[in-house]
Chain A
Amino acid sequence: MNSTMKFTEYLKYLSIGIGFGFVLVKSEVVSWFRIQEMFRFDSIHMYGIIGLAVVVGIISVQLIKRYNMKDANGDPISIPPKDSSQVTRYLVGGSIFGLGWALLGACPGPMFALLGSGLTVMIVPIATAVLGTYVYGVLRPKLPH
């Protein structure tokens, strides 16, 4: 994909994004309350959502691989594997993310969907999340991975 992506290309991703943002709010995944409930193991709600999303994901990825499906542009679909030898980064980085997820009650997708729902104060965590990303980029050479 070159940087002169056509308008219709953007429209495709914009539409999928609209569906994603819509279901995030309608399912209450964006809710701070639902995240607190999840980490207290008080309801099946979040586990059911993530679990079924993964089931649908696994089945569709397997089908795409098995039938060597091509994307809408006719290109083969390749999914780059992640480097699972970097155990530290996933456990430590993941734990830091988890601290933030429970504290803010929102992960990156919901932060933006909540902003769209009219919660303008979400600009603040979005800005500090960009800052956090930047600080990681600066410290990266010094951090254990």
Chain B
Amino acid sequence: MIDLLYEPWPWYVAGPVIGLTVPLLLLAGGKMFGVSANLRHTCAACNFGNVDFFNYDWKTAGKWNFAFLAGSIIGGFLAGYVFANPDPINLASSTIADLQALGIQDFDGLVPDDLFAWSSLGTATGLTVLGLGGFLVGFGARYAGGCTSGHAISGLSDLQLASLLAVIGFFIGGLLMTYLIYPLIL
């Protein structure tokens, strides 16, 4: 039984559990599930230069979401540190072969150590993946008005056309990166 805590969860269990976040937040206090809003609230809490887009009462809008975000970090600690899965991810062999051809050597954890280490920040590749990757996620999420949680989960759950357009955008960008740009970076 305790093994269940260490083992990875299959997609058909994890998907519905993630989906439950939407009604849980709505029922808890009428809140819409969306993680990237926290990035905006962070800017609003600082708001250097008095930017119009960040002029709002972030405490009223965002305190609950910061609590949710703190929980996500704790949940990540429990699942990825306390009850970490000791085995490598059961990836498709075609993906492994593809990534090996691009030079990825470490397949042990959740992320490749080749890229996700403090020391990799000294390389152009590491700086691009971690620094530029984060920047594009933050910029794009706000431009699109939401990220995977706000659009792909919350928005699609409410059958919003806007969210479908955003998700199509996610895949246009993701496929461009995967097939055209990433091979140049790695």
Known: A40-B178, A90-B166. A125 touches B16 (CB 8 A): no
B174 with A98: CB separation less than 8 A = yes
A19 with B75: CB separation less than 8 A = yes
Give a binary string over A15-50; 1 marks a CB under 8 Å from any B CB, 0 the rest: 111111111111111111111111110111110111
Task: Provide the residues of chain A in CB contact with B59, threshold 8 Å.
Answer: 3
A114 with B110: CB separation less than 8 A = yes
Known: A13-B67, A16-B21, A137-B142. A93 touches B166 (CB 8 A): yes
B118 with A96: CB separation less than 8 A = no
Q: How far is the CB of B71 from chain A (nearest CB, A)?
A: 2
A97 with B169: CB separation less than 8 A = yes
B135 with A128: CB separation less than 8 A = yes
Q: How far is the CB of B126 from chain A (nearest CB, A)?
A: 9
Which A residues have a C-beta under 8 Å from some C-beta of B? 1-3, 5, 9-40, 42-46, 48-58, 60-61, 63-64, 69, 71-73, 75-84, 86-87, 89-109, 111-122, 124-138, 140-141, 143
A21 with B149: CB separation less than 8 A = no
Interchain CB contact (< 8 A) of A10 among B40, B64, B72, B118:
B64
Known: A78-B30, A97-B147. A1 touches B111 (CB 8 A): no
Give a binary string over B151-186; 1 marks a CB under 8 Å from any A CB, 0 the rest: 111111111111101111111111111100110010
B142 with A133: CB separation less than 8 A = yes
CA distance A104 to B171 in the complex (A): 14
A25 with B75: CB separation less than 8 A = yes
B17 with A23: CB separation less than 8 A = yes
Interchain CB contact (< 8 A) of A143 among B27, B92, B143, B171:
B143
A-B contact pairs, 15 of them (CB 8 A): A2-B60, A9-B29, A13-B31, A19-B75, A22-B75, A71-B27, A93-B145, A97-B147, A98-B175, A105-B133, A107-B141, A108-B141, A112-B72, A121-B120, A132-B140
Q: How far is the CB of B50 from chain A (nearest CB, A)?
A: 11
Task: Provide the residues of chain A in CB contact with B131, threshold 8 Å.
Answer: 124-125, 128
Task: Provide the residues of chain A in CB contact with B172, threshold 8 Å.
Answer: 91, 94-95, 98
Give a binary string over B36-58; 1 marks a CB under 8 Å from any A CB, 0 the rest: 10111011000011011110010
CA distance A141 to B136 in the complex (A): 19
CA distance A114 to B117 in the complex (A): 13
- Nearest to B176 among chain A residues (CB) is A99
Q: How far is the CB of A9 from chain B (nearest CB, A)?
A: 7
- Nearest to B28 among chain A residues (CB) is A12
The 5 A-B pairs at the shortest CB distance, nearest first, are namely A94-B169, A17-B71, A21-B75, A98-B173, A117-B80
Task: Provide the residues of chain A in CB contact with B154, threshold 8 Å.
Answer: 57
Which chain B residues (82-105) contact chain A, with CB distance < 8 Å? Answer: 84-85, 89, 91-92, 94-95, 98-99
CA distance A56 to B54 in the complex (A): 33
